[in-house]
Structure 1
């Protein structure tokens, strides 16, 4: 029997689902989280896996004790869970890192030549490639023309790597990865996909698409325990210098030399993040089971969010290309007459709604839009239609009658004046102090 999509229910249970936060005007409100694209809450299954493993936490790979053997087994099993989740090829290794940024900086030390990127990238996939040469291709007004520009660049001069986002962290637009992989290979390059925003929303098949390297973060995959992954072809990883020099990355050391291990251990020096890896594996397993319902849920809510915002006078939704056919659950927008930070502060203080404001670590892309800042609402497995409707109602109220509280900007951040919410009053007065929730 086919499950019927119910927009009133979230397809999975996440931490903080019942969180209530104080309102500046008094009372509390159920927290509506629209910042999944920055850091997603933990899935219930992820928290359970960590709690189960925590009593057994011990040294990995070199301990003879029972707890060490269990921790080692769980760590290496987590690597296999990631392999299955991403459908890796036989010659691709899974290297555990801290996050996507860490993964891309690791790979930057392995690339034996220049890297081609678009100017729409998150800084994590824009800045690391300088060490061997970064060639920036300006995105065109359409996706089709943008691909033509990438083709011309790769044809004109050889490159080692084409590095692209899987889905824009600003607009959610998904790039045609199989087509781009074929393009890179045609001109002798490999392809890297920054899947930080794509992996939480879409199943990715590295074998089928021909992707050579992929990076993603646990904290965006409902596993916020400090682990990420770089998945990629073994040869570059095996011939590059170790990302970090230290224990675990070597097979032998003398006073004069070191014999470095093969990947993945070559790039995992130090004590591994066992709990983070186990959490990431649990998230991969849960997302595999939820793939169908989760995508239907996301598509319905994204359509509801985007069309609802576009129906409000003075609200502009951002898109890079009019011909991009697919988007994940991310919508960036502006509100005429209001600074993005002021809108975000208003939504938080008066409506218990959390959105992102700023330039989203994608300054060149925001400059293309002619903006210093924008707002971003992103949804996930814990989002419901009621959350969408609350956000739309709050934005509509702002446009039609304005905020009910005063707000001021200091140091680039907007805050309600006066700040009355417990825990934030002292922090505002004293600066960054101890957490007092």
Structure 2
């Protein structure tokens, strides 16, 4: 067993961030000085937890081929890979008969699901989704719903659309938390509506999973998709977890070794292939065992740290960030559901008279703060929110500024951002 089991007492670290790689990195400033880097683009790629790095390093000497070799390291790697799969499934609250396919990312997971949909499946998706959950259905019959202005409106809109739709297989795609506003969506209520109308549900949990519990069985959803690089495990692994039947009935997402159990050349020169069942059917090629180890390690570390404790800490920092930004004249915080909506640690904003790209560049060059600017792979939603601001928005068509943080973010980074935006606005 190359990776140790950890039991940690964090009672004395109630307000401390989790240790992450890069928390001691200094970056140059435009004036020639340097400061500790404030990584506030966690919604795009979260830093690796130090525990994840340590676990990957502990396993690396034992790395071998997965499901291929008879040697000791191959057997150990195969065992570790499958144990990692089980750890992630437990973290997500999967049902005993659910499949968990290890992919490259949320985008890969969504495209996998799109590839296995039964013929004629109609997809229902809100225009406010991330492109990973919006664009993969383009070759399928799709109903795109307008961005709702409240959780209740989202539920009512889906109810109407499903009631008016023709019979046949149907899939509802919804985000767990917006990557633009951080607002949490009513996943359980939307899944209940879908079930009443005989539809299945897939949840893009990429932004939700790093901050809140995911519960496939408890929510009554059919699938969830997420990315390791947003869950403090940036080693190229993603997940599609949920019902196995559509995955089992479809042709493999990728054709190749591992997905096939037998290949024969027929008398007429064709290739006759017998495909594997289970997750292996859609995991052709050499599995990313290091990515699987990292992802399982992150799930274990977050669980041991206490999801409720981490969420409470992030909520305090989020309240400080939103309060601080809203107090700056000329700053507008983007919101779909309103100021009282439940949200995770993602805030997008504009500064009157300053293009978003300029604000982001100044934050980096003058203050050592890393944020994101633009449309955040959610163009329809950002355009809708900016159009509502009118002249108060950034005004140049360049999108907004997004600050996002997580379990490894020190309070000083949030305070620095609030101070910096105030100075730039003045």
Q: TM-score, normalised by structure 2?
A: 0.91
Unpaired segments ≥5 residues, structure 1 = 401-437
1:188 paired residue number: 198
Deviation at 1:372, TM superposition (A): 3.9
2:419 paired residue number: 393
Question: What CA distance in whole angstroms lies between the structure 2 residues aligned with 1:71 and 1:3?
Answer: 34
Match of 1:280 among 295, 318, 326: 295
1:58 paired residue number: 64
SS in 2 for 1:128: coil
Deviation at 1:335, TM superposition (A): 0.4
Question: What CA distance in whole angstroms lies between the structure 1 residues aligned with 2:99 and 2:339?
Answer: 35
Question: What CA distance in whole angstroms lies between the structure 2 residues aligned with 1:249 and 1:68?
Answer: 18
Question: What CA distance in whole angstroms lies between the structure 1 residues aligned with 2:181 and 2:149?
Answer: 15
Q: Deviations over 1:373-431 (max 9, x none)?
A: 0000001111122111111111111112xxxxxxxxxxxxxxxxxxxxxxxxxxxxxxx
Question: What CA distance in whole angstroms lies between the structure 2 residues aligned with 1:386 and 1:38?
Answer: 20
Asked if 1 retains the 8 angstrom alpha-carbon contact of 2:210 and 2:230, the reply is yes
Match of 1:265 among 270, 280, 283: 280
Match of 2:239 among 216, 226, 229: 229
Deviation at 1:216, TM superposition (A): 0.3
> RMSD over aligned Cα, in angstroms?
1.5
Alignment of 1:177-326 (within 5 A): 177-255=187-265, 256-290=271-305, 291-322=307-338, 325-326=341-342
SS in 2 for 1:88: coil
Question: What CA distance in whole angstroms lies between the structure 2 residues aligned with 1:56 and 1:91?
Answer: 30
Match of 2:163 among 146, 155, 165: 155
Question: What CA distance in whole angstroms lies between the structure 2 residues aligned with 1:117 and 1:176?
Answer: 14
Deviation at 1:274, TM superposition (A): 0.5
Q: Deviations over 1:113-157 (max 9, x none)?
A: 011000100000000012221210102333322321111001111
- Compared CA separation, residues 55 and 101, structure 1 to 2 (3 A): same
Question: What CA distance in whole angstroms lies between the structure 2 residues aligned with 1:347 and 1:265?
Answer: 45
Between stretches 349-358 and 256-265, larger displacement belongs to 256-265
Say whether residues 1:380 and 2:402 are aligned partners.
no
Say whether residues 1:100 and 2:124 are aligned partners.
no
SS in 1 for 2:139: helix
Asked if 2 retains the 8 angstrom alpha-carbon contact of 1:111 and 1:160, the reply is no
Alignment of 1:106-121 (within 5 A): 106-112=112-118, 113-121=121-129
Asked if 2 retains the 8 angstrom alpha-carbon contact of 1:5 and 1:297, the reply is no
2:369 paired residue number: 353
- Compared CA separation, residues 368 and 393, structure 1 to 2 (3 A): same
2:145 paired residue number: 137
Question: What CA distance in whole angstroms lies between the structure 2 residues aligned with 1:323 and 1:334?
Answer: 16
Unpaired segments ≥5 residues, structure 2 = 1-8, 266-270, 388-396
1:126 paired residue number: 134
Give aligned pairs, total.
398
Deviation at 1:270, TM superposition (A): 0.3
Deviation at 1:253, TM superposition (A): 1.1
Match of 2:357 among 341, 348, 351: 341
Question: What CA distance in whole angstroms lies between the structure 2 residues aligned with 1:6 and 1:140?
Answer: 36
Question: What CA distance in whole angstroms lies between the structure 1 residues aligned with 2:332 and 2:340?
Answer: 18
Deviation at 1:208, TM superposition (A): 0.8
Asked if 1 retains the 8 angstrom alpha-carbon contact of 2:216 and 2:242, the reply is no
Question: What CA distance in whole angstroms lies between the structure 2 residues aligned with 1:80 and 1:90?
Answer: 10
2:5 paired residue number: none
SS in 2 for 1:151: helix
Between stretches 324-333 and 245-254, larger displacement belongs to 324-333
Deviation at 1:297, TM superposition (A): 0.8
Asked if 2 retains the 8 angstrom alpha-carbon contact of 1:15 and 1:43, the reply is yes
Asked if 1 retains the 8 angstrom alpha-carbon contact of 2:14 and 2:309, the reply is no
- Compared CA separation, residues 338 and 213, structure 1 to 2 (3 A): same
Asked if 2 retains the 8 angstrom alpha-carbon contact of 1:33 and 1:355, the reply is yes
2:392 paired residue number: none
SS in 2 for 1:377: strand
Deviation at 1:2, TM superposition (A): 10
Alignment of 1:162-173 (within 5 A): 162-173=172-183
Question: What CA distance in whole angstroms lies between the structure 2 residues aligned with 1:259 and 1:216?
Answer: 29
